[in-house]
Amino acid sequence: MSEEPRARATLTDVAKAAGVSVGTASKALNDRFDVKSETKARVQRAAADLNFRPNALARGLLAGRTQSVGIVTNDLDGRFAPKIVVGVENALGADQSSVLLSITRGDPALEAHYIRGFQERRVDGILIVGNIPESRPPAQDLHDTPAVYVFAPSSDPRDASVIADNLAAGTMATKHLTDLGRRDIFHLGGRPGEVAARDRAEGTRSQLTAAGLPVSPFQILYGDWSEQWGWDAVGGILASGAAVDGLVCGDDTIARGAIDRLLAEGITIPDQVAVVGFDNRPVLAQYGRHPITSVDMELEAIGSRAAQALMTGHPAPGVLAHPGHVAARWSTLGTANQR
Partner DNA sequence: CTGAAAGCGCTAACAT
Partner DNA sequence: ATGTTAGCGCTTTCAG
| Residue 76 is a binding residue for its own copies (CB under 8 A) | yes
Least separation in angstroms between residue 94's CB and its own copies is 12
Distances (CA, A) of 275 to 111, 131, 228, 288: 40, 26, 16, 14
Q: What is the spatial distance between Cα 224 and Cα 326, in angstroms, rounded to a whole number?
A: 22
Binding-site string for DNA from residue 47 to residue 66, where x marks contact by CB under 7 A and - marks none: -----xxxx--xx-xxxx--
Q: Is 102 in the site for its own copies (CB under 8 A)?
A: yes
**319 beta partners:** 161
* Closest-CA residue to 177 (of 297, 336, 333, 338): 333
Quick one: which of 22, 42, 44, 60 contacts its own copies (CB under 8 A)?
60
Instruction: Give yes or no for residue 6 binding DNA (CB under 7 A).
Output: no
Cβ closer to DNA: 39 or 286?
39
Question: What residues are paired with 187 via a beta bridge?
Answer: 220, 248
Q: Pick one of 26, 119, 135, 178: the residue that binds its own copies (CB under 8 A).
A: 119
Residue 94 engages its own copies in binding (rule: CB under 8 A):
no
Least distance to its own copies from the beta carbon of 202, Å? 25
CA angle 182, 186, 192 (to 5 degrees): 150
Nearer to DNA (CB atom), residue 102 or residue 119: 119
Could you say which of 17, 35, 69, 162 contacts DNA (CB under 7 A)? 35
Pick left, alpha or beta for residue 280 (phi over 0 → left; psi -120 to 50 → alpha; otherwise beta): left
Q: Are 131 and 73 in contact (CB under 8 A)?
A: yes
Q: Does 44 bind DNA (CB under 7 A)?
A: no
By CB under 8 A, residue 77 contacts its own copies: yes
H helix count then E strand count, the chain: 12, 12
Which of 1, 137, 143, 271 is close enough to bind its own copies by CB under 8 A?
143
Peptide bond into 270 cis (omega under 30): yes
3-class DSSP state of 220: strand
The Cα 188–Cα 258 span in angstroms is 9
**With the C-alpha atoms ordered 312, 159, 145, 103, is the resulting torsion angle positive or negative?**
negative
Site string for its own copies, 189-218 (x = CB under 8 A): ------------------------------
Q: Which residues bind DNA (CB under 7 A)?
A: 7-8, 10-12, 19-24, 26-27, 29-30, 33-36, 38-40, 52-55, 58-59, 61-64
Residues that bind its own copies (CB under 8 A): 8, 51, 53-58, 60-61, 66, 68, 71, 75-77, 81-83, 85-86, 89-90, 93, 98-103, 116-122, 143, 226-228, 231, 253, 257, 260, 281, 283-284, 287-289
